[in-house]
Amino acid sequence: MSNTNRTLLSDPMDDNNPITVQVLGICSALAITVQLKAALVMSISVMAVMAASNVIISMLRDLIPNRIRIIVQLVVVASLVALVDQVLRAYAYDVSKELSIFIGLIITNCIVMGRLEAFALGNGVWRSFLDGIGNAAGYGFILILVAFFRELLGSGNLLGYQVIPDFVYEMGYENNGLMLLSPMALITVGIIIWIQRSRNRKLIEN
Amino acid sequence: MIDYANLFIKSIFIENMIFAYFLGMCSYLAMSKTIKTSVGLGFAVIFVLTITVPLNFLIDKYLLKEGALSWVGPKYAELNLDFLSFIMFIAVIASMVQLVEMIVEKFAPALYGALGIFLPLIAVNCAILGGSLFMQIKNFSGITESAIYGFSSGIGWLLAIVAIAAIREKIAYSNVPAPLKGLGITFIITGLMAFGFMSFMGIKL
């Protein structure tokens, strides 16, 4: 793998993270971060949709007339999301119930459209595939990080299993129910942005 | 009547698109730098939601739901086209936005001047598709109910974006820690506002 291809994968993890730097794909992402499991499933679904749609649009990029490209992209993404939704309903019904409308909202997730517009329309298939994987990984990384802290501090569990041992509770430790409420997702992301920009000072806005 | 009023209040304050479900966050964060643009975008969202939610309600009820096609003939009664709903909804939204844009441009040039640039953006605003998908889950009984839901969710969205725009205009003069400037502080303020909106929880007429 050449150097430029490697940056396609590594760049979205930090310097060009979809959520904390590009500010794309926040819609719908945060509502499902109460539990780690839902966040994992969501990240995998987004990765599948992004990689596949990037590949398809990149293959079709010379055939799509410029004026109707948004509609074409929407149709491709919507069909892929419908596919993912059906697969989830068949093999992971309870998770799919929990994610409810948020799987459908991957269609309008700006990160998918954003990468199609900005990258897949102008680059080859293999590079577009890597870009899709990389950006979905950067997106999933933040999602999983938020869900990790919310589930750990909010209910003392990870992936549904208790991780904080009983004797800690006996010593007087309490779960912080506040973390389970939706506003804490926003504040957690705010803190993640704070930490990231303190370490990586070139990202600071003026 | 009281049911409609309840739905109205509930969709604006308690199930606010931004604060409870984070729908439409991308345009909310990107377009909230000044009050003027945020008001324009907010009204465009109200407008499009009020049109697309009832329209998608009709499509869901008479085309997609299980047994919805029974009006065509008895042998179509057991068809369930539910899996097509994502594609149908997004196609309706994209074409409606285009149509509305053309109509407004022709008949109300002043309104077009105010909303024009925001309308195309809205086709991919999650709040719009979210409105239709929630409509599908909530099982509304009639078209009036779904229209009220669309309209009031739009108002809730407008309230949220105008409020954050006003705060951001002021906070530009405050001494925020450098790494928190811009995006970070906006997230935290939105979180605090969402806590405020939680106090509406349980209000019923």
pLDDT tens-digit profile of B40-52?
888 888 888 898 9
- A188: closest chain B residue by CA: B188
The pLDDT of residue B130: 86
Chain B residues within 8 A of A27 when measuring between CB atoms = 22-26, 125-127
Q: Of A24, A187, A204, which has the smallest distance from its Cβ to B191's Cβ?
A: A187
A202: contact with B, CB 8 A cutoff:
no
Number of neighbours of residue B96 by Cβ within 10 angstroms: 18
Phi, psi of A157 (to 5 degrees): -115, 165
Crossing angle of the two packed helices A110-118 and A69-91, in degrees rounded to 10: 130
Of the two residues B28 and B159, the one the predictor is more confident about is B159
pLDDT-based confidence at B149, cuts 50/70/90? very high
The pLDDT of residue A199: 84
Q: Is the pLDDT of residue B155 over 90?
A: yes
As a whole number of angstroms, the distance between CA B147 and CA A39 comes to 32
Mean pLDDT for A196-203 is: 81
Question: pLDDT (tens digit, 9 = 90+) per residue, B160-203?
Answer: 999 999 998 888 888 888 888 878 888 899 889 888 888 887 77
B87: contact with A, CB 8 A cutoff:
yes
Enter the tokens of residue A38. Answer: 């839902």
Q: Is the pLDDT of residue B115 over 70?
A: no
pLDDT-based confidence at A52, cuts 50/70/90? very high
pLDDT-based confidence at B118, cuts 50/70/90? low
pLDDT-based confidence at B156, cuts 50/70/90? very high
pLDDT-based confidence at B159, cuts 50/70/90? very high
Q: Is the pLDDT of residue B34 over 70?
A: yes
Question: pLDDT (tens digit, 9 = 90+) per residue, A53-81?
Answer: 999 999 988 888 877 787 888 888 889 99
Enter the tokens of residue B31. Answer: 């377009």
Residue with tokens 């925001």: B118
Of the two residues A1 and B2, the one the predictor is more confident about is B2
Of A185, A10, A162, the closest CA to residue A102 belongs to: A185
The pLDDT of residue B117: 63
The B residues from 23 to 62 touching A (CB cutoff 8 Å) are 23-26, 29-30
pLDDT-based confidence at B116, cuts 50/70/90? low
The A residues from 116 to 155 touching B (CB cutoff 8 Å) are none
Q: Is the pLDDT of residue B86 over 70?
A: yes
Question: pLDDT (tens digit, 9 = 90+) per residue, A119-138?
Answer: 888 888 888 898 888 888 88
As a whole number of angstroms, the distance between CA B74 and CA B90 comes to 29
Whether residue B183 and residue A71 make contact (CB cut-off 8 A), yes or no, is no
Q: Is the pLDDT of residue A44 over 80?
A: yes
Q: Is the pLDDT of residue B151 over 90?
A: yes
As a whole number of angstroms, the distance between CA B23 and CA A34 comes to 16
Of the two residues A44 and B126, the one the predictor is more confident about is A44
**Across A21-25, B58-62, B68-72, B124-128, which has the greatest mean pLDDT?**
B58-62
Average pLDDT of the residues of chain A: 84
Pairing of strands A161-162, A157-158: antiparallel
A25: contact with B, CB 8 A cutoff:
yes
Crossing angle of the two packed helices A69-91 and A36-60, in degrees rounded to 10: 140
What is the separation, in whole angstroms, between the first and last Cα of chain A? 36
ipTM of the complex in this document: 0.82
Q: Is the pLDDT of residue B205 over 70?
A: no
Q: Of B124, B183, B194, which has the smallest distance from its Cβ to A108's Cβ?
A: B124
The pLDDT of residue A164: 80
Enter the tokens of residue B137. Answer: 């889950």
The pLDDT of residue A22: 76
Question: pLDDT (tens digit, 9 = 90+) per residue, A160-186?
Answer: 788 888 888 888 888 888 888 888 888
Task: Count how many pairs of residues, chain A against chain B, have C-beta atoms within 8 Å.
Answer: 147
Residue with tokens 């006996």: A170
DSSP B36-48: HHHHHHHHHHHHH
The pLDDT of residue B162: 92
As a whole number of angstroms, the distance between CA A130 and CA A138 comes to 12
